[in-house]
Amino acid sequence: METGKPLLRLLLLYTITVSVLVISPTCAGAPLQYSTMFVFGDSLVDDGNNNYLSSLAKANYLPYGVDFFGGPSGRFCNGKTIIDFLGELLGLPYLPPYVNTIGNDRSILRGVNFASAAAGILDVSGSQLGDRFTLNQQIANFENTVNQLKNPMEEKELREFLAKSLVVMNIGSNDYLNNYLLPSIYPTSSIYNPREFADLLIRNYTAQILMLHGLGVRKFLIGAVGPLGCMPNQIARVDPPPPPGKCVTDVNELVSLFNTRLVSLVDQLNSRISILGAVFVYGNTFDLFTSILNRAESYGFKVVDRGCCGIGRNRGQITCLPLAFPCLNRDEYVFWDAFHPTQAFNKIIAQRVYSGPTSDCYPMNLHQMAQL
């Protein structure tokens, strides 16, 4: 009987959570600011694509989704992702994962999520975790969706529809976590110094962004790579660990090299507006994340350096296992597991990217871009 108690407690917690939630997959009354939203990225924004792949990177089991109205869905969170909150602010419904839209023309009219856990800018990144839709494959999948949209839409209508859509790109973490920072598996850190590797990523990313532009989309939100050195996973890998509340500095310095180049890329692309006819904004999630960590208590967070769910030091060595029992005070945690933030944290980031100052979203926020 004793061995069944953790499972019983978890199921009871899930039942209570679901019973008190108001099931509202759209933000009632929110004005429509973009025709639709298309999402590209990794596990921070994946909402179920990896459920259908042969991959170790999955989140379609409890306790993932314990606070999500539909339960486990493939989101790497206890509840909603940044994309879910952005959709609510934009008056859009929760996006279907790409794998659920194949052959279903109606399901793609309000947006599609192409993101895939373990994906990177480079095709090789994350390969040790199994199948995933790399960013190149996500773009190929988007081209399939564009062709699918030709069924219900005429050419002019489709062109206008795509031009008014929002593209969100949130990728790059796995090129570090599951490539450059794993020298026992990947040789990249012995081939490229940190600056050369950041340049390699930006060259590839630039080509990928322009490929999407070539398919007709014109409004881009391009997210920074967050402060990976503050993740419980990275803190757990360092011996001795950094002081409480501090991060792994050298990892954050690696990421900053990429982000600095990414801001420059956004400036370069916007300087070509007369040619590209597009707008690009940079979501400064690195500085946003850092500022929240530095003033965690003012945002209601009490735990900043370990996961609510997981195993090992700082709950950062292994992510949430099936039916593991998470912490109860989830809104007080920045991190849900070894890599991913909680729903409470995601909500703050989404709100700041939507309506924050240029220090949060540069050169304008999503609300301002919607007016263009």
Average pLDDT (356-362) is 98
Average pLDDT (5-20) is 41
Q: How would you classify the pairing of strands 279-283 and 219-223?
A: parallel
The pLDDT-based confidence of 20 (bands split at 50, 70, 90) is very low
pLDDT tops 60 at residue 80? yes
Q: Which pLDDT does position 150 carry in this prediction? A: 93
What percent of the chain is predicted at pLDDT more than 90? 82
**Active-site annotation holder among 43, 55, 125, 256:** 43
Q: What b/e string do you get for 98-128 counting C-beta neighbours within 10 Å, with b at 16 or more?
A: bbbbeeeeeebebbbbbbbbbbbbbeebbbe
- 340 catalytic per annotation: yes
If one counts every other C-beta atom within 10 angstroms of the C-beta of residue 327, the result is 17
Q: Side chain identity at 102, as an amino acid letter?
A: I
Distance in angstroms (rounded) separating the CA atoms of residues 59 and 81: 13
Average pLDDT (106-111) is 90
**Active-site annotation holder among 67, 175, 337, 360:** 337
Domains of the chain (ranges plus CATH)? Answer: 37-371 (3.40.50.1110)
Average pLDDT (250-256) is 98
Q: Which pLDDT does position 105 carry in this prediction? A: 76
pLDDT tops 50 at residue 63? yes
Count of residues making up the chain: 372
pLDDT, tens only, 289-340:
999 999 999 999 999 999 999 876 656 567 899 989 999 999 999 999 999 9
Average pLDDT (214-240) is 95
Instruction: Answer yes or no: are the C-beta atoms of 119 and 204 closer than 8 Å.
Output: no
pLDDT tops 80 at residue 198? yes
For the chain, give the mean pLDDT.
91
pLDDT tops 80 at residue 230? yes
Q: What are the phi and psi torsion angles at 263 (to 5°)?
A: -60, -45
pLDDT tops 90 at residue 6? no
pLDDT, tens only, 124-157:
999 999 999 999 999 999 999 999 999 989 999 9
Distance in angstroms (rounded) separating the CA atoms of residues 313 and 322: 19
Q: Which pLDDT does position 21 carry in this prediction? A: 33
| CA distances from residue 1 to 5, 12, 72, 322 in whole angstroms, order as listed | 7, 16, 26, 19
- 337 catalytic per annotation: yes
Task: Specify the higher pLDDT residue, 75 or 273.
Answer: 75
The pLDDT-based confidence of 31 (bands split at 50, 70, 90) is low
Q: Which pLDDT does position 104 carry in this prediction? A: 82
Distance in angstroms (rounded) separating the CA atoms of residues 246 and 322: 30
Residue 62 CA to chain centroid, in angstroms?
20
pLDDT, tens only, 112-126:
999 999 999 999 999
Helix, coil or strand: residue 127: helix
The pLDDT-based confidence of 25 (bands split at 50, 70, 90) is very low
The enclosing H or E element of 258 equals helix 249-271
- 256 catalytic per annotation: no
Distance in angstroms (rounded) separating the CA atoms of residues 179 and 190: 11
pLDDT, tens only, 69-79:
989 999 999 99
**Active-site annotation holder among 46, 116, 340, 360:** 340
Distance in angstroms (rounded) separating the CA atoms of residues 21 and 199: 45
- Residues in contact with 25: Cβ distance below 8 Å, sequence separation at least 6, in sequence order: 69, 93, 94
pLDDT tops 60 at residue 22? no
Assigned token pair, 216: 């007709």
Helix, coil or strand: residue 177: helix
Opening angle at CA 221, ends 196 and 274, nearest 5: 90
pLDDT, tens only, 83-100:
999 999 999 999 999 999
Q: What are the phi and psi torsion angles at 59 (to 5°)?
A: -145, 40
The pLDDT-based confidence of 30 (bands split at 50, 70, 90) is low
